[in-house]
């Protein structure tokens, strides 16, 4: 129980990577506050955390809204007395060719992925500084932010590049408070959002989605896409004692798609 008595906040926790991360943290002893815009899904995640023997709170929040971020953090502290770990996971995308990206697409994606991630990180960091006991911030970026050409769209890649950049700067400025800030960069991961994006891509190309799924596996050196639990395992490591001297780093979990 490496995270016993720790309180974690996970955004975008209703399904996919966020749900897997929440359950993995709970399995290591953390109490987990889970948030999402879909209250039914995040409620299910909260129940699953409690079934693992850990306290949990489900919060309906849109990280693109600063008032929601403030409320989310306030309810976490009121409910558990503190925050030790933030997993900044909430994110959105869809398949869009570069010539078809419109202002509305750009603003919608960056509102959640870049703006939401930054202000959630900032708000939690204020709490960690106030507590005076350090903490862990884990941002979920993407290999798209490192230029992976198979990204869903350029606006998404730019938003995840922003997450990587803010991770570096936050780590350099929050280190004096013993706050570690790192990012995980998933590659192809078997989530509902990713599979929906692949279906959109297949439709635009006029090919069976099965063909694209087969090509995906062929491009990955290790021969398989991530399960959400692969990302969760890295999050647990970065939240634990073994990563106490790791900060300002980005970790690809992608089967070898991007090797830098």
Q: Give the model confidence (pLDDT) of 122-168 as tens digits.
A: 999 999 999 999 999 999 999 999 999 888 899 999 999 999 999 99
Reported confidence tier of residue 102, pLDDT bands at 50, 70, 90: very high
Reported confidence tier of residue 1, pLDDT bands at 50, 70, 90: confident
Q: Burial of 215 by CB count in 10 Å (0-12 exposed, 13-18 middle, 19+ buried)?
A: exposed
Q: Give the model confidence (pLDDT) of 235-245 as tens digits.
A: 999 999 999 99
Mean of pLDDT over the chain:
94
pLDDT number for residue 210: 79
Q: Give the model confidence (pLDDT) of 168-206 as tens digits.
A: 999 999 999 999 999 999 998 888 887 788 788 778 778
How distant, in Å, are the alpha carbons of 16, 56, 82, 85, 158 from that of 50? 18, 6, 19, 18, 37
Q: Give the model confidence (pLDDT) of 26-53 as tens digits.
A: 999 999 999 999 999 999 999 999 999 9
The model's pTM: 0.93
CATH number of 7-189+227-253: 3.40.50.720
Q: Which of 95, 148, 156, 168 is catalytic?
A: 156
Reported confidence tier of residue 211, pLDDT bands at 50, 70, 90: confident
Clarify whether 156 is annotated catalytic.
yes
pLDDT number for residue 195: 77
* Strand spans (E) along 78-124: 85-88
Q: Burial of 9 by CB count in 10 Å (0-12 exposed, 13-18 middle, 19+ buried)?
A: buried
Percent of the chain scored above 90 by pLDDT? 82
Of residues 100 and 200, more confidently modeled = 100
Q: What is the DSSP letter of 226?
A: B
């Amino acid at each position: 129980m490496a995270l016993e008595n720790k309180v974690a906040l996970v955004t975008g926790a209703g399904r996919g990577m966020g749900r897997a991360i929440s359950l993995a943290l709970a399995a290591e002893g953390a109490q987990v506050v889970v948030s999402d815009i879909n209250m039914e899904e995040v409620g299910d995640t909260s129940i699953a955390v409690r079934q693992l023997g850990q306290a949990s709170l489900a919060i309906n929040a849109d990280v693109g809204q600063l008032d929601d971020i403030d409320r989310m953090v306030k309810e976490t502290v009121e409910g558990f007395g503190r925050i030790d770990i933030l997993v900044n996971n909430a994110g959105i995308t869809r398949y869009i060719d570069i010539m078809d990206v419109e202002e509305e697409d750009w603003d919608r994606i960056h509102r959640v992925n870049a703006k939401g991630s930054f202000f959630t990180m900032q708000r939690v960091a204020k709490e960690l500084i106030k507590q005076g006991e350090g903490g862990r911030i884990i941002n979920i970026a993407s290999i798209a932010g490192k230029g992976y050409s198979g990204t869903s769209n350029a606006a998404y890649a730019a938003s995840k590049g922003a997450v990587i950049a803010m991770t570096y700067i936050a780590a350099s400025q929050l280190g004096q408070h013993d706050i570690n800030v790192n990012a995980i960069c998933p590659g192809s991961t078997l989530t509902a959002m990713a599979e929906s994006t692949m279906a959109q891509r297949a439709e635009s190309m006029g090919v069976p989605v099965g063909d694209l799924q087969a090509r995906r596996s062929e491009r990955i050196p290790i021969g398989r896409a991530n399960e959400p639990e692969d990302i969760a395992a890295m999050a647990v490591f970065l939240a634990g004692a073994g990563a106490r001297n790791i900060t300002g780093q980005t970790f690809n979990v992608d089967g070898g798609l991007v090797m830098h």
